[in-house]
Structure 1
Amino acid sequence: MKPSHILLPVTLSLLVAACGASEPESKTTEIRAEESNIRAHLEFLADDDLKGRETGSNEHEIASNYIVSEFKQLGLEPAGDDGTYYQRIPFRKSTLKENSARMTFENNGEVVEFEFPKQFITGPSHYEEKDEITAPLVFVGYGMEAPEFGLDDYNGLDVEGKIVVMLTGRPEFLPSEEGAHLANIKSDIAREKGAVGIITLHTPVREKTRKYETSVYYTKTPRMTWLGPNGLPKGEEQQLKGSAYIDDEPAEKLFANAPTELSTIFEKIEEDPDFSPKGFELEGEVTLARESRHEEISSPNVAAVLPGSDKTLKDEYVIYTAHSDHIGVVKDMSREDNINNGAMDNASGVSIMLETARLFVESEQEFDRSIMFLSVTAEEKGLLGADYFANNPTVPLENIVANVNLDMPVLLYDFADVIAFGASHSTLGDTVSKAAQQFDTKQSPDPMPEQAIFTRSDHYTLVKKGIPAVFLMTGFTSRTEGEDGGEVWGEFFAEHYHKPSDGLNLDINYEAGARFTNINFAIGKEIANADKRPQWLEDSFFGKQFND
């Protein structure tokens, strides 16, 4: 799962969703997942020899080769580039040069120099090794456009060739998933409006949940993007030339002689979290400058297909996704254990996908639609491998009917329910319920909607292309008397998430893994053989946004 700066709960016992009366386990003779297969995959992928499967590393290549080997053994057809199982992705890793970042504000002949990183921070450019921009300023509130929620922060403002100044975050009245999406596309809107730079304002409200100093910590961390076939980052011509994130107190200098003082805006959003300030032009102009180092690397997605049997529907695809990368090795070599093995993140998801593939291949059934299994890279770098596939698909995008995403199934307790992110947006919600019921498992509503998890994993990149998706997580109830599944889940995130302790020493419940596989297999079967492809629900924000 893509890292979030929202704190995850330590204990989730209060969030447990009721599961209702149990139903008998399915008694059919259909093929079932084997615990031993899941264990074998997981123990290989989370072994120390793979050193945390960092994107672009030799060890991630080994993991990818392993997945290809399994696909070949199952007899799945290659679905990568040029008749292979691989979709090789070129990436650019960019690092901000030390002491190169500069930000100055000039107004009526007075020049103010801001101090990096104490007062402002910035990241590297993926486009230029050295860049500088000077432009006037326009305050645009939160920088959002969402008519359905009454937000039009650019209304009446001309930002062509200017630097937009916006508040971090979003108004609290926005629903969590929709708000997270709208916050994610702020820079896209600024580009479309003709802005040449963005200055984001740290607020006292944000300081309460994420301190400015926390952001400073990441200024030395390289950033990564994929390069399109034209050699450009994400295939796009550069428009935004500079960016900065500025602390709340120094930011007030930008509002000298403004129609509304910044301190007043800060007070209003503290008093009323739903308040969304109107924008206005600011006096003066800002210069943003920096230098960046670039390094080119590559890393593969891996794709295979089980062709459908229907002469028409076989050209449509149900896609299972699971990310094979993790975060590599802790730089502190003094630690006794410095390898982030990523057993639950996401060796478990890949293992479930591989066993699901076996069930499809060895099932006596035929499936009308084709089934694609897609192992994606660079999820930990910002969903980049999935985003590359969504923008450079190896099958026609319009023929992809649904995405079933397998990311971080926490297989540490005997779960009795599942949570399906995306269930409330499409007919896939009913599909999940039917599949889970076959295995004495209920579907529970999202117990932590404030986390907006639907926008934080690989399926989100396909959702933005109009493809319905569902992302299953083990629920917070347990079949074991006295065991609190939510507490186990929360404990994992508090103590092991993105740490070396997420390894094979965990008490992994492979029986739960087999059940989770069976449920995901049942979901795919239902989609593959349904008369109609999954549909967005009429009132779904995402369906309205992307289902053209």
Structure 2
Amino acid sequence: MKVKHAFSAAMAVMLMAGCQNTSTTEKQHSTAASTAKVDAKRIKAHLRFLSDDLLEGRDTGSKGHQIASLYIATEFEKYGLEPAGDNGTYFQDVTFRKATLDQESPHFTLKDAKGERTFSYPSEFLMSASLVRETSAVNGELVFVGYGIVAPELNHDDYTDIDVEGKIVVLLSGKPKSFPSEEGAHFASTSLKHAYAAQRGAIGVIAISTPIAEKVAPYQNLLNYIHTPALSWVDKQGQPANTQPSLQARAYLSVPAAQRLFATADVSLDDIYAQLEEDKVPASFPMNVSVSLSQSSKHENIQSPNVAAVLLGSDATLKNEYVLYSAHSDHIGIAKTVKKDRINNGAMDNASGTAIMLETARMFANQRQRPKRSVLFVAVTGEEKGLLGSDYYAQNATVPIENIVANVNLDMPILTYEFADVIAFGANHSDMQASVAKAAKNVGISLSPDPWPEQALFTRSDHYSFVKQGVPAVFLVPGLQSADPDIDGSKQFGKFLSTHYHKPSDDFNQPFNWEAAIKFTEVNFQIGQTLADQAARPAWNEGDFFGITFGK
């Protein structure tokens, strides 16, 4: 285990204080459009502190994350930014409901023509803790509903001519192959699938794996997460947000268990899988079997803050509009492992993004002339729990949400090599693409298209919470092209994901490239500068799905 000393954290704080007086020996780079300068020492100091063992992985609701939040707020105040949290503070306190599953409680019994059979937890089925009720029990007939998706925009409705009122729906994980990647990710999200079912009167959901799902997330791997609590922010009525109270139980089956579930059905699971291989959509049908599901969960409320600050704009009218920078300050805490080093420090994920947001905020504050629009900075909590802190802020914004004109999200920039391009997930959905391309050009690099469109990364970080409130957004990361011909950027990226991602080794001992940190900060600063000063607010592209679906 890495030796944990308060000394190392204290040194980081002292270093930050020393950075306030810029010396001629500090590494500084000026941007093309401003007198503001990037200071690599400040980025390094932020990152060192936020990823220190003292903070124990910054888990949502933990003391370590509270320390990180106080540190971020203190930096905002040091730069002279105005508080943009609740009640004149930098903090927006979020109450979360934390639900923990009693591992002895899950029960699944199948009743069909062959009699009554009980499935074994967790080898044959999984359950997650219920955020709605501490004791859940439901009995019902099963209805197979294909993928369980309703997408009129894609001419798809798995609930056509099928009655699920008072029934438990059985649905496939994932989406049809023919669905566009990002739109498909939206329609196939677990929250929407549950909403589709609940809106039609279902009382429970059973999800089953598919051959594609087994390749991406094998059932056996999911067993590593059975002790992970469920989390949701709590609304003003004390209810967990984005839940479906009418769904009284949920389960996920292994492939062998799912085959047993379909043993007496009119269509076998093997036949359904064969249809998937041909990209056919299996028809929905009553299964003529019933199940009983039950479980017990323990509830507790925890607190964890978002941290928000604003630099007010200089234009009398445009200062009422906001360009929002976001970065998540949480990570996954302490691992349940027998290894000596159990602290998931989250240096790259996302101390790096938070550090760069802090340096970007300082640069804006130190300009000779403020931008025309106001610039809002929000360090959000609960990203690792399902984009929860950003979702809370987007639905309870401390400025009018309709006045947030754009979001630039900073999440896990890989800073181990000097890159020659950037990738801006989501830029192709709005005219922000031109702003990003211009900013990249200003620092001598290029904007590259999404190299992994099949992964729908546009829907998988905090910016998407703001997209769902109609805000055009980009999620910027260093590109795969390296400025050094001897370094393969894609291999560097892949190495981090395979070796350090969500592991204790994601710490400050990694070979950070501070030139990359400078360049990435410059690009992000210039994007915000362009957006804050341009005459027109960013707009969704004409006919864009996300603009049509969420645009206000």
C-alpha separation between the residues in 2 aligned to 1:111 and 1:138? 18
Secondary structure in 2 matching 1:419: strand
Letter in 1 for 2:470: G
Give deviations 1:88-109, integer Å, cap 9, x for gaps: 1111221111221111222469
Who is 2:534 aligned against? Answer: 530
* Contact 2:132/2:243 (<8 A) preserved: no
User: Aligned in 2, Cα 1:161/1:28: closer, same or farther, shift over 3 Å?
Assistant: closer
Q: Are 2:75 and 1:88 aligned?
A: no
Give deviations 1:387-415, integer Å, cap 9, x for gaps: 11112111111111111000011111111
User: Aligned in 2, Cα 1:250/1:338: closer, same or farther, shift over 3 Å?
Assistant: closer
**Which of residues 145, 169, 174 is equivalent to 1:164?**
169
**Which of residues 262, 273, 282 is equivalent to 2:287?**
282
Q: Are 2:255 and 1:233 aligned?
A: no
Higher relative contact order (CA 8 A, sep 6+): 1
Secondary structure in 2 matching 1:290: strand
Who is 1:183 aligned against? Answer: 188
Letter in 1 for 2:272: I
Give deviations 1:230-257, integer Å, cap 9, x for gaps: 1111176612111111122332344355
Shift, 1:378, TM fit: 1.1
Shift, 1:260, TM fit: 2.4
- Pairs within 5 Å for 1:111-510: 111-184=116-189, 185-234=192-241, 238-255=245-262, 258-270=265-277, 272=278, 274-332=279-337, 334-335=339-340, 337-510=341-514
Identity percentage of aligned residues: 51
- Give the aligned CA root-mean-square deviation in angstroms: 1.8
Secondary structure in 2 matching 1:220: coil
Give deviations 1:429-467, integer Å, cap 9, x for gaps: 111000110000100011111221111111111111111
Who is 1:18 aligned against? Answer: none
C-alpha separation between the residues in 2 aligned to 1:29 and 1:321? 22
Secondary structure in 1 matching 2:430: coil
Shift, 1:334, TM fit: 4.2
Number of corresponding residues: 521
C-alpha separation between the residues in 1 aligned to 2:91 and 2:97? 19
C-alpha separation between the residues in 2 aligned to 1:311 and 1:434? 26
Letter in 2 for 1:221: T
- With normalisation by structure 2, the TM-score equals 0.91
C-alpha separation between the residues in 1 aligned to 2:214 and 2:500? 26
- With normalisation by structure 1, the TM-score equals 0.92
Who is 1:517 aligned against? Answer: 521
Shift, 1:262, TM fit: 2.5
C-alpha separation between the residues in 2 aligned to 1:287 and 1:425? 45
* Contact 1:256/1:283 (<8 A) preserved: no
Is 110-119 or 449-458 further displaced after alignment?
110-119
C-alpha separation between the residues in 1 aligned to 2:403 and 2:488? 42
Q: Are 2:79 and 1:64 aligned?
A: no
Shift, 1:302, TM fit: 0.3
Letter in 1 for 2:449: P
User: Aligned in 2, Cα 1:27/1:238: closer, same or farther, shift over 3 Å?
Assistant: closer
Is 69-78 or 190-199 further displaced after alignment?
190-199
Is 352-361 or 478-487 further displaced after alignment?
478-487
Give deviations 1:81-139, integer Å, cap 9, x for gaps: 11111011111221111221111222469322222222211111011111111122221
C-alpha separation between the residues in 1 aligned to 2:145 and 2:534? 47
Secondary structure in 2 matching 1:33: strand
Who is 2:10 aligned against? Answer: none
User: Aligned in 2, Cα 1:26/1:132: closer, same or farther, shift over 3 Å?
Assistant: closer
C-alpha separation between the residues in 2 aligned to 1:514 and 1:186? 42
Q: Are 2:56 and 1:51 aligned?
A: yes
C-alpha separation between the residues in 1 aligned to 2:482 and 2:143? 53
Give deviations 1:349-396, integer Å, cap 9, x for gaps: 011101111111111223221111000011111111111111211111
Letter in 2 for 1:58: K
Gaps of 5+ in 1: 1-24
C-alpha separation between the residues in 2 aligned to 1:364 and 1:283? 72
User: Aligned in 2, Cα 1:26/1:207: closer, same or farther, shift over 3 Å?
Assistant: closer
Is 368-377 or 174-183 further displaced after alignment?
174-183
* Contact 1:228/1:235 (<8 A) preserved: no
Letter in 1 for 2:240: P
C-alpha separation between the residues in 1 aligned to 2:495 and 2:285? 46
C-alpha separation between the residues in 2 aligned to 1:545 and 1:28? 35
Who is 1:5 aligned against? Answer: none
* Contact 2:313/2:370 (<8 A) preserved: yes
C-alpha separation between the residues in 1 aligned to 2:436 and 2:318? 21
Is 537-546 or 207-216 further displaced after alignment?
207-216
Give deviations 1:143-182, integer Å, cap 9, x for gaps: 1112232211111122222211111111111122222221
Letter in 1 for 2:89: T
Who is 1:3 aligned against? Answer: none
Letter in 1 for 2:72: I
* Contact 1:30/1:363 (<8 A) preserved: yes
Give deviations 1:32-85, integer Å, cap 9, x for gaps: 211111111111111222221111111111110011101111111111111111
C-alpha separation between the residues in 2 aligned to 1:402 and 1:426? 10
* Contact 1:402/1:534 (<8 A) preserved: yes
Who is 1:19 aligned against? Answer: none
Give deviations 1:306-325, integer Å, cap 9, x for gaps: 11222222221111000011
Letter in 2 for 1:492: F
Letter in 2 for 1:155: T
Give deviations 1:414-438, integer Å, cap 9, x for gaps: 1110000001111111110001100
C-alpha separation between the residues in 2 aligned to 1:72 and 1:394? 17
C-alpha separation between the residues in 1 aligned to 2:337 and 2:223? 19
C-alpha separation between the residues in 2 aligned to 1:333 and 1:65? 31
* Contact 2:306/2:379 (<8 A) preserved: yes
Is 138-147 or 211-220 further displaced after alignment?
211-220
